[in-house]
């Protein structure tokens, strides 16, 4: 168990550092530090998503009995992936920090600009950071110890939620570099909308449906037939997915309705002289409330 945790702790930060170094030093690329950090973080997230989805597919297709059957990959990949969520909190902050600097706008926060930016980051990305913390402190012990080896099929299906992550990461990169007007962004937006809805929103109703078939009971009876902890966990995990999906829908609506009015990239964001901060997309790529960015940074500096 410890060796798998150590392997994950080395693999994900190591892949991030290797990717960043390659993007900065490979001839023909030689990207800036900020660009390399942002793209490397998205690349690591996409690779983790592909690995998790592959593991989930193997587990789900190998379990005939959705309650009793076990697969060695279930607990092994959970242990391997736990360090990713810790690393990703750091990676998201680095993306947030360099987004402020990559366009040449520094955060004027006195003697401790990094600390002020971190406070602003925690407020702006509270839900995403909380999601990562819960995955480590709650979902990890529940999945490895509380299940007592039962329900590997359900765990494998939950791994498949990561199928939506690569399109989300690509969308973040395209938005960061003002490519909203491109065909690639529109196609990726449609793919992200479909995969996020299927893999993250419909995931939990499907798990209840699968159990209803297994237990030969009506779908509406499932919440009354499973432990209350399962119902609570499903609600707490599904709620942020529904919220993020609503933001993705709003973004898609703006994208496809705005494209009929203009086929040119939007003008670059300008610095507000009062807040001294550039408005930039949030780290998680979902929120549309960019106008609050300057206010948050001012609070962080106070």
Residues in the chain where the model's pLDDT stays below 50 = 105, 107, 260, 262-302
Rg of the Cα atoms in the chain: 21
Is the whole-model pTM more than 0.85?
A: no
Residues 234-269 have pLDDT tens digits of 999 999 999 999 988 988 888 777 654 544 444 444
pLDDT at 251 (0 to 100)? 82
Residue 133 lies in a domain: yes
* Secondary structure in 3-state letters for 8-76: HHHHHHHHHHHHHHHHHHCCCCCCCHHHHHHHHHHHHHHHHHHHHHHHHHHHHHHCCCCCCCCCHHHHH
pLDDT score for 204: 92
Residues in the chain: 302
Beta bridge partners of 277: 272
- Residue 129 falls within a domain, yes or no? yes
Task: Determine, yes or no, domain membership for 183.
Answer: yes
The answer to whether residue 254 sits within a structural domain is: yes
Q: How high is the pLDDT of residue 175?
A: 84
Question: What are the respective helix, strand and coil percentages of the chain, to the nearest 5?
Answer: 75, 0, 25
Interatomic CA distance for residues 177 and 170, integer angstroms: 11
| CA gap 109, 121 in Å, rounded | 14
- Alpha helices (H) in the chain, listed in sequence order: 2-25, 33-62, 72-102, 113-124, 126-134, 140-141, 152-159, 165-176, 183-196, 203-215, 222-225, 228-258, 293-301
Find residue 272's DSSP bridge partners: 277
Cα angle 293-98-30, degrees, rounded to a multiple of 5 = 150
Domain assignment present for residue 274? The answer is: no
pLDDT at 270: 44
Domain of 15? Answer: 2-261
Residue 139 DSSP class: I
* Predicted pLDDT of residue 112: 63
Question: Considering its fold, how many domains does the chain have in total?
Answer: 1
Give pLDDT, residue 49: 96
The answer to whether position 78 is within a domain reads yes
- d(CA 103, CA 81) in angstroms, rounded, equals 33
Q: Is residue 230 part of a domain?
A: yes
Q: What's the N-to-C CA distance of the chain in angstroms?
A: 45
Among candidate residues 285, 253, 262, the one with its CA nearest the CA of residue 175: 285
Contact in structure between 169 and 42 (CB atoms under 8 Å): yes
Query: Cα(161)–Cα(77) distance, rounded to whole angstroms?
Result: 15
Report if residue 246 sits inside a domain. Answer: yes
């Amino acid at each position: 168990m410890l060796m798998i945790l150590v392997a994950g702790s080395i693999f994900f930060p190591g892949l991030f550092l290797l990717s960043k170094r390659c993007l900065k030093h490979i001839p023909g690329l030689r990207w800036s530090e900020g660009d390399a950090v942002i793209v490397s973080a998205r690349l690591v997230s996409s690779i983790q998503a592909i690995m998790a989805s592959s593991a989930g597919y193997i587990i789900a297709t190998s379990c005939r009995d959705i309650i009793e059957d076990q697969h060695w990959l279930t607990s092994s990949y959970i242990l391997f992936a736990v360090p990713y969520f810790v690393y990703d909190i750091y990676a998201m902050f680095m993306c947030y920090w360099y987004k402020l600097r990559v366009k040449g706008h520094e955060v004027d926060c006195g003697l401790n600009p990094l600390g002020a930016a971190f406070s602003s980051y925690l407020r702006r990305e509270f839900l995403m950071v909380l999601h990562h913390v819960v995955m480590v402190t709650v979902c990890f012990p529940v999945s490895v110890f509380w299940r007592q080896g039962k329900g590997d099929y359900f765990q494998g299906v939950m791994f498949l939620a990561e199928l939506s992550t690569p399109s989300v990461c690509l969308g973040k990169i395209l938005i960061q570099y003002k490519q909203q007007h491109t065909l690639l962004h529109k196609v990726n937006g449609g793919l992200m909308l479909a995969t996020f809805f299927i893999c993250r929103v419909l995931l939990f109703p499907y798990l209840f449906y699968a159990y209803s078939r297994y237990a030969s009971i009506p779908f509406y009876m499932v919440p009354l037939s499973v432990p209350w902890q399962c119902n609570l966990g499903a609600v707490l995990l599904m709620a942020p997915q529904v919220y993020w999906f609503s933001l993705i829908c709003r973004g898609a609506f703006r994208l496809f309705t705005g494209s009929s009015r203009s086929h040119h990239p939007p003008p670059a964001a300008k610095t507000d002289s009062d807040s001294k901060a550039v408005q930039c997309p949030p780290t998680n790529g979902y929120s549309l409330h960019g106008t609050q960015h300057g206010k948050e940074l001012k609070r962080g500096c106070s």
